[in-house]
Chains A and B, each alone.
Chain A
Amino acid sequence: MSAMPIVLPSNRDENWRYANLRGLARARFEPAPAPEATQLGDIAGRLPAALPGYARLVLVDGHHVAALSTALPDVNITHDVDAQEKSGADQRFANLNRRFRQGTCRIAVPAQAALALEVLCVATASSHPALDITLGDGAKLQLIERQLSARGDDSTLVNLHLAARVGEHAQFELARIGHHGAKAQALDTLELQLDVGASMKLVQVIEGALASRSTAFVEHVGREASLEWYVAALGEGTQHHDAFVHVTHAAPGARTLQCFRGIATGRSRVAFNGHMRVEAAALGTQTDQSLKCLLAGAEAEADVRPQLEIYTDAVKASHGATVGKLDADMLFYLLSRSIPPATAESLLKWAFVSDVLAKLPSPELRSQVAAALERQLPGAATRAWS
Chain B
Amino acid sequence: MLVIKDLHAKVGDRKVLDGLNLEVPAGEVHAIMGPNGSGKSTLAYTLAGRPGYEVTAGSVSYQGRDLLALAPEERAQAGLFLGFQYPVEIPGVNNVYLLKAALNAARKHRGEAEVDAFEFLTLVREKMKVMQMDEAFLSRGVNEGFSGGEKKRNEILQMLVLEPSLALLDETDSGLDIDALKVVANGVNTLRSPTRAIVLVTHYQRLLDYIQPDRVHVLARGRIIRSGGPELARELEARGYDWVLNEAA
Taking a contact as CB atoms under 8 Å apart, the answer to whether B109 and A338 are in contact is: yes
A332 adjacent to chain B (CB < 8 Å): yes
Q: A335-B72, A335-B73 are in contact. Are A384 and B97 (CB under 8 A)?
A: yes
A352-B92 Cα distance, complex, nearest whole Å: 7
A84 adjacent to chain B (CB < 8 Å): no
A157-B7 Cα distance, complex, nearest whole Å: 61
B123 adjacent to chain A (CB < 8 Å): no
A340-B93 Cα distance, complex, nearest whole Å: 15
Distance in angstroms from B60 CB to nearest chain A CB is 16
- Chain B, residue nearest A261 (CB): B92
Task: Produce 1/0 per residue, B71-96, CB < 8 A to A.
Answer: 11101110001101001101111101
Taking a contact as CB atoms under 8 Å apart, the answer to whether B90 and A339 are in contact is: no
Taking a contact as CB atoms under 8 Å apart, the answer to whether B50 and A384 are in contact is: no
A355-B92 Cα distance, complex, nearest whole Å: 7
Distance in angstroms from B131 CB to nearest chain A CB is 17
Taking a contact as CB atoms under 8 Å apart, the answer to whether B91 and A336 are in contact is: no
- Which chain B residues border A87 with CB–CB below 8 Å? none
B98 adjacent to chain A (CB < 8 Å): yes
Distance in angstroms from B92 CB to nearest chain A CB is 3
B105 adjacent to chain A (CB < 8 Å): yes
A338-B71 Cα distance, complex, nearest whole Å: 10
Distance in angstroms from B58 CB to nearest chain A CB is 21
Distance in angstroms from B100 CB to nearest chain A CB is 8
Q: A332-B72, A383-B101 are in contact. Are A354 and B90 (CB under 8 A)?
A: no
Task: Produce 1/0 per residue, A329-353, CB < 8 A to B.
Answer: 1101111111111011001101111
- Which chain B residues border A332 with CB–CB below 8 Å? 50-51, 72
Taking a contact as CB atoms under 8 Å apart, the answer to whether A354 and B92 are in contact is: yes
Q: A335-B73, A338-B109 are in contact. Are A351 and B92 (CB under 8 A)?
A: yes
A328 adjacent to chain B (CB < 8 Å): yes
A341-B101 Cα distance, complex, nearest whole Å: 12
Task: Produce 1/0 per residue, B53-81, CB < 8 A to A.
Answer: 00000000000000000011101110001
- Chain A, residue nearest B105 (CB): A338
B219 adjacent to chain A (CB < 8 Å): no
B48 adjacent to chain A (CB < 8 Å): yes
Distance in angstroms from B110 CB to nearest chain A CB is 11
Q: A337-B102, A338-B105, A341-B73 are in contact. Are A383 and B97 (CB under 8 A)?
A: yes
A385-B82 Cα distance, complex, nearest whole Å: 25
Taking a contact as CB atoms under 8 Å apart, the answer to whether B88 and A338 are in contact is: no
Taking a contact as CB atoms under 8 Å apart, the answer to whether A329 and B105 are in contact is: no
B162 adjacent to chain A (CB < 8 Å): yes
- Which range contains the number of B residues in contact with the other chain? 20 to 34
Taking a contact as CB atoms under 8 Å apart, the answer to whether B90 and A330 are in contact is: yes
Distance in angstroms from A174 CB to nearest chain B CB is 23
Find the residue from A330, A332, A384 having the highest chain B CB count within 10 A: A332
B158 adjacent to chain A (CB < 8 Å): yes
Selected from B51, B91, B94, B106, the residue in CB contact (under 8 A) with A385 is B94
- Chain B, residue nearest A352 (CB): B92
Q: Please provide the chain A residues from 39 to 67 with a CB less than 8 Å away from any CB of chain B in the complex.
A: none
Taking a contact as CB atoms under 8 Å apart, the answer to whether B90 and A348 are in contact is: yes
Q: Please provide the chain A residues from 290 to 327 with a CB less than 8 Å away from any CB of chain B in the complex.
A: 327
Selected from B49, B77, B87, the residue in CB contact (under 8 A) with A338 is B77
Distance in angstroms from A148 CB to nearest chain B CB is 27
Selected from B92, B98, B102, the residue in CB contact (under 8 A) with A350 is B92
Taking a contact as CB atoms under 8 Å apart, the answer to whether A336 and B72 are in contact is: yes
Distance in angstroms from B97 CB to nearest chain A CB is 5
- Which chain B residues border A339 with CB–CB below 8 Å? 73, 98, 101-102, 105
- Which chain A residues border B106 with CB–CB below 8 Å? 338
Taking a contact as CB atoms under 8 Å apart, the answer to whether A347 and B73 are in contact is: no
Selected from A328, A335, A384, the residue in CB contact (under 8 A) with B92 is A384
- Which chain B residues border A386 with CB–CB below 8 Å? 96-97, 100
Q: Please provide the chain A residues from 109 to 164 with a CB less than 8 Å away from any CB of chain B in the complex.
A: none
- Which chain A residues border B101 with CB–CB below 8 Å? 337-339, 343, 347, 379, 383
Taking a contact as CB atoms under 8 Å apart, the answer to whether B51 and A338 are in contact is: no
A327-B101 Cα distance, complex, nearest whole Å: 19
Selected from B88, B91, B109, the residue in CB contact (under 8 A) with A329 is B88
Distance in angstroms from B76 CB to nearest chain A CB is 4
Selected from B82, B87, B105, B162, the residue in CB contact (under 8 A) with A340 is B105
A343-B162 Cα distance, complex, nearest whole Å: 18
Taking a contact as CB atoms under 8 Å apart, the answer to whether B76 and A384 are in contact is: no
A355-B102 Cα distance, complex, nearest whole Å: 24
A256-B106 Cα distance, complex, nearest whole Å: 46
- Which chain B residues border A335 with CB–CB below 8 Å? 49, 71-73, 76
A334-B158 Cα distance, complex, nearest whole Å: 12
Q: A350-B93, A384-B93 are in contact. Are A338 and B48 (CB under 8 A)?
A: no
A69-B84 Cα distance, complex, nearest whole Å: 55
Q: Which 5 A-B pairs have the closest CB atoms?
A: A351-B92, A354-B92, A338-B105, A337-B102, A335-B72
Supplied contacts A332-B50, A351-B141, A355-B92, 19 more A-B pairs, CB within 8 Å: A330-B88, A333-B87, A333-B142, A335-B72, A335-B73, A337-B76, A337-B101, A337-B102, A337-B162, A338-B77, A338-B102, A339-B102, A340-B105, A341-B71, A341-B73, A347-B90, A351-B91, A354-B93, A379-B101
Q: Would you list 25 pairs from A and B whose C-beta atoms are within 8 A, ordered by A residue?
A: A327-B88, A330-B88, A330-B90, A332-B72, A334-B90, A334-B98, A336-B72, A337-B76, A337-B101, A337-B158, A337-B162, A338-B73, A338-B102, A338-B106, A339-B101, A339-B102, A341-B73, A347-B90, A347-B93, A347-B97, A348-B93, A351-B90, A353-B92, A355-B92, A386-B97
